[in-house]
Chains A and B, each alone.
Chain A
Amino acid sequence: MLAQTIATPEVPWSLLWPFLLMALGAVVLVTLTSLVPSLRTRGFAAFYTATMAVGSVVSLYWIWNRVQDEGGRIVVLDGALSLDYFFLFTAGTISLAVFFAALLLDDFLRREGLDGPEWYVLIMLSAAGGLMMAAAEDLIVTFLGLEILSISVYVLAALHLRRRDSQEAGFKYFVLGALSSAFFLYGIALIYGATGSTRLSEIDAALFISNARGLTPAEDSSLLLAGMALLIVGFGFKVSAAPFHMWTPDVYQGAPTPITGFMASAVKVGAFAGFTRVFLAAFGRLGNDWRPVIGAMALLSIVIGSFLAIKQDNVKRMLAYSSISHAGFILIGLHSAGSIDAAVSALGSRSVLFYLFAYTFMVVGTFGVATLVGRHGDGAHGLADYAGLSSRQPILAGLLVVLLFAQAGIPFTSGFWAKFGVIEAAVRGESYVLAGAAMVAAVVGAYLYLRIIVSMYLTQPAVEADDVAGPGPIIMAPAATMAIFFAVAATLLWGVLPDVGGDVLRDAATSFLR
């Protein structure tokens, strides 16, 4: 009812501020800097992007008030986008990731002698795609968002023009990404065939009718199940969940480090937002059909992410595996969110959202440190490059320790609460085996973080780090250091007071409850 009165054909510009700031902001930036060369100084673009990100968060607050007045949900653009608490929360997280990326990127570009506002333009465009995925109420819009998000990131991955690794990463990412997009699109087609619509609410309604007719969905349409499976492939690729994770280590390792951080935060949040929305809003009634698949993927991701990380020597590669394992944990949350039991479902969604939020800070901070340690040439990412970091850069090492322990889920960090939320939802849903297996595999995963810590604190560097031939000293660039400090502060804040902003989280978690 409500939706119909709001969904007027004209565009409610005021409600689209976050999208406009990111998408149009990017266009404006590229125009401005090409017309006014004096603005092409490096600081401006970073400042601009950070401002846009902050502006996006502010506009989200304004929209939040509107959404509250409208009863928790505004559907705009003739049903293309649904502005609800879930969108607001995930969009806020994506905006934060953009903010951090801008801070990290500024110093990085200076150090590498790279130029140009195009990095920032692409980041903002990509974020716009992420926002679309978070809000998309129609599978086609989800796909549009996915493509905007991905294509920008393909380019970003390859943008370090002087490093072959970067080119290779971009290429690999693009080829595999394009393939997964094809799967995704085919999935949409099949679902359209099965239900007659690409609109999430209409798909849900079609499933409701088929249920009411007394048909189980399986006999109603194997087409539908095949479509769902293909969507899982597409999303699984984007969130880098096993068995669709193959690209992750190579791309994470090869891409410019701040961009890797952006991929692990904003891209992951956007993809998970789309994943969660589609599967809860459209296929919520088919939970029993897709949950086992998600559960299996979750377990596989955690196991692969934890075990394969053991033998790695490159920190970025290790973090890539860790990101696979984190995706597995988030999938456990999604698994619970698909439960028919409303309480379990709410807990599940909540755990997904909190995990994404906490992980954004952790991973941005971690890759921030990696950016600094990478030094000139962005190549010093071996474990050996971290040797003795505690004596060379005690503050940096200390910050990284917090972030790594947070990723390992040690108490009094936000990472602990993220894991706790996921486990809690799983146990409430009586998925004891999943929860237990995940925790045990996570111990293996902890070894990965400990190895980095051992290297920093308990190993002496083989050669003097400030060797002339080496990549030069670590420069604690101010903006990046600030970003890392923010990330650590947030990790500790939500570690000690996990309920800060809890109401927003709870509202967001109940967006899809029927």
Chain B
Amino acid sequence: MFAAEAAEAVSFPLLPALVLVPLLTAAVIGLMPAERDDYARIIALVGSTITGALSIYLLADFQTADGGFQFVVERDWIADLGLSLRLGVDGISLFLVVMTGVLFPIGILATSADHDAKPYHLWIMVLMAGSIGVFMALDLLLFFMFFEIVLVPMYFLIGSWGHGDRVRAALKFFLYTMAGSALMLVGIVAVVFLTNQHTGTVTFDIRELASAQALTTNEARVVLLVFALAFAVKVPLFPLHTWLPDAHTEAPTVGSVILAGVMLKLGTYGFLRFGLYLFPQAAHDLAPVFLTLGVIGIMYGAIVATVQRDLKRLIAYSSIAHLGFIILGLFALNSQGIQGAVLQMVNHGISTGALFILAGWIYERRHTREIAALKGLQKAAPVMAGVFTLVMLSSIGLPGLNGFVGEFLILLGAFSGARWWGIVATSGVILAALYLLWAYQRVFHGTPDQDNAVMPDLRLSEFLSILPLLGLIVFLGVYPKPVLDRMEPAVDELITHIEANVDDFVEPEPAPVVEQDQRDLLVEALHEAEEKAEAAGEEGE
């Protein structure tokens, strides 16, 4: 195995390339003369597509059955501080990398800058480098650096190309997130230092830190809380979410897509990799707190989304609800829950990304995001309505589409690992149907009035640019096996790690997963969801 890894690293440094290609693209864009900024978009498109292709190559080259980190690259950085440039992916981060790699070119293709295309695309490419880096970092400090650096491009994207009160939204986003992670740096150094006290080695390597488990229970709890603060702002968990609606709403379309699709996942991924993996005992002890906040997020996000007037704001709040599900799955602390959570991270990226792209297109045509000002778009733009329907249903979690698989696994996991939270969360599924269908109905149904009647439908190029996402929505809904197969070994390893390091903890007996039963459950859930959708639809009519 190790030999294979070494050979991989020597033959082609795939993981560094995933960071360096977008970075080089950014440099190329930066060096271009300002007056030729029409080329910026093409260069960015090429660079991000190459990166996306590399990430798919990574997927193809990934050893399915191996639960450990693959393609590992290590370079000394500051040797005596134990810092290295360590990159690697496992079955968990793999799909987040691929999702990032796919979402960026689509985001660039589907939107365009209304002014200053050169810096716009430059920042997007820097953002891409940073966000891919976060998911691959195996070094605690390197992770933190990527985690922080992504703020800069996003800050400029919101501030320069956003709408409305963009400067305020950008500032709020930057300072809020930075405040969340201010203590994290102290926490990181503390982990390394305390581990050093017990083991004598100084290292920022998360694998070594995780296997050492040198912190006392209380130390681990404090550090986890400090980390959690940074992640909770990013996710965002319930009381720390207030930056998100502003940032999402005021951001340019591509900003919203990346924010929702990729950057929120930095928080949940952080919880998974630097919470559960580094501090299993503390995570287990504090799980009720996070479960509760997650469930509050589900309910709160859904309820607040229902009453939004602004389409983008509605989608933003729906993100809070979806991310609540992911937290629920993670802290159910069993294989199904975590698999569902990881899958849902990817699903949410795809479907919410697509929703934001669609909302952006509507805004481009109608110059408003007010739900009340939109009406009967279905008549004027049937193709867009169809696309919207599919994406929306995926977001609701309709069986047969990707959202269902993730949510179903999460709830399955929650029922065995965190039953009461799971029960409350289930009602969130209904609410999701409510707010999305209601919004859909208001925007697309009815007879269009003047402006809405003449809204142009999707252009072919637009349709083609969103097509890959539609394909993924259906594919992952119908046949999630390839994804789950690659994810499972890594998740199982994580569960084993948690079991080994948490006193008196065995993975909660999963819900009976005999083939037969599962199929029954699926069928049942399928019926249930259909009824729900119908009910909500009728209610809407």
Known: A458-B159, A498-B78, A499-B79. A427 touches B193 (CB 8 A): yes
Task: Decide if B160 touches A458 in the complex (CB within 8 Å).
Answer: yes
Residue from A410, A423, A439 having most chain B Cβ neighbours under 10 A: A439
B177 nearest CB neighbor, chain A only: A443
Task: Decide if B175 touches A443 in the complex (CB within 8 Å).
Answer: yes
Q: Which residues of B have CB within 8 Å of A424?
A: 81, 189, 193
CB proximity to A under 8 Å, residues B89-147: 141, 144-146
- Judged by a CB distance under 8 angstroms, whether A440 is at the interface is yes
- Which of A405, A416, A443, A506 lies in contact with B145, CB distance below 8 A? A416
A155 to chain B: closest CB distance in Å?
41
Chain A interface main SS type? helix
- Judged by a CB distance under 8 angstroms, whether B390 is at the interface is no
- Judged by a CB distance under 8 angstroms, whether B372 is at the interface is no
Chain B interface main SS type? helix
CB proximity to B under 8 Å, residues A439-470: 439-440, 442-443, 446-447, 450, 454, 457-459
- Count A-side interface residues using an 8 Å CB cutoff: 30
- Judged by a CB distance under 8 angstroms, whether B148 is at the interface is yes
Q: Which residues of A have CB within 8 Å of B146?
A: 411
In the bound assembly, the distance between CA atoms of A442 and B175 in angstroms comes to 10
A433 nearest CB neighbor, chain B only: B186
Q: Which residues of A have CB within 8 Å of B170?
A: 454, 458
Residue from A411, A412, A416, A502 having most chain B Cβ neighbours under 10 A: A411
Task: Decide if B160 touches A457 in the complex (CB within 8 Å).
Answer: yes
Q: Which residues of A have CB within 8 Å of B171?
A: 447, 450, 454
- Which of B81, B145, B166, B185 lies in contact with A423, CB distance below 8 A? B185
In the bound assembly, the distance between CA atoms of A428 and B191 in angstroms comes to 10
Known: A416-B145, A457-B159. A450 touches B175 (CB 8 A): yes
CB proximity to A under 8 Å, residues B161-180: 166-167, 170-171, 174-175, 178-179
Residue from B34, B81, B144 having most chain A Cβ neighbours under 10 A: B81
- Judged by a CB distance under 8 angstroms, whether A435 is at the interface is yes
- Count B-side interface residues using an 8 Å CB cutoff: 33
A496 nearest CB neighbor, chain B only: B77
- Which of B145, B174, B182, B186 lies in contact with A411, CB distance below 8 A? B145
- Judged by a CB distance under 8 angstroms, whether A420 is at the interface is yes
- Which of A416, A428, A443, A458 lies in contact with B178, CB distance below 8 A? A443
Residue from A412, A427, A442 having most chain B Cβ neighbours under 10 A: A427
Q: Which residues of B have CB within 8 Å of A419?
A: 185
Task: Decide if A443 touches B167 in the complex (CB within 8 Å).
Answer: no
- Judged by a CB distance under 8 angstroms, whether B523 is at the interface is no
Mark contacts of A476-514 with chain B using CB atoms, 8 A cut-off: 1 yes-contact digit, 0 otherwise. Answer: 000000000000000000000011001000100000000
Task: Decide if A412 touches B149 in the complex (CB within 8 Å).
Answer: yes
CB proximity to A under 8 Å, residues B494-522: none
Task: Decide if B182 touches A432 in the complex (CB within 8 Å).
Answer: no
Task: Decide if B144 touches A411 in the complex (CB within 8 Å).
Answer: yes
In the bound assembly, the distance between CA atoms of A198 and B174 in angstroms comes to 50
Task: Decide if A428 touches B193 in the complex (CB within 8 Å).
Answer: yes
Known: A443-B182, A499-B78. A405 touches B160 (CB 8 A): no
Task: Decide if A446 touches B166 in the complex (CB within 8 Å).
Answer: no
In the bound assembly, the distance between CA atoms of A63 and B81 in angstroms comes to 29
**Chain A contacts to B: CB under 8 angstroms:** 394, 405, 410-412, 416, 419-420, 423-424, 427-428, 432, 435-436, 439-440, 442-443, 446-447, 450, 454, 457-459, 498-499, 502, 506
Q: Knowing that A443-B178, A458-B167, A499-B78 are A-B contacts, what are 11 other residue pairs whose CB atoms are under 8 Å apart, sorted by A's residue number?
A: A411-B148, A412-B145, A423-B185, A427-B193, A428-B193, A436-B182, A443-B175, A446-B178, A457-B160, A458-B160, A506-B80
30 intermolecular pairs with C-beta atoms under 8 Å apart: A410-B148, A411-B145, A411-B149, A419-B185, A420-B141, A420-B185, A420-B189, A423-B185, A423-B186, A424-B193, A427-B189, A427-B193, A428-B193, A432-B190, A439-B182, A439-B183, A442-B182, A443-B178, A443-B179, A446-B178, A447-B175, A457-B156, A457-B159, A458-B166, A458-B167, A459-B167, A498-B77, A498-B78, A502-B78, A502-B80
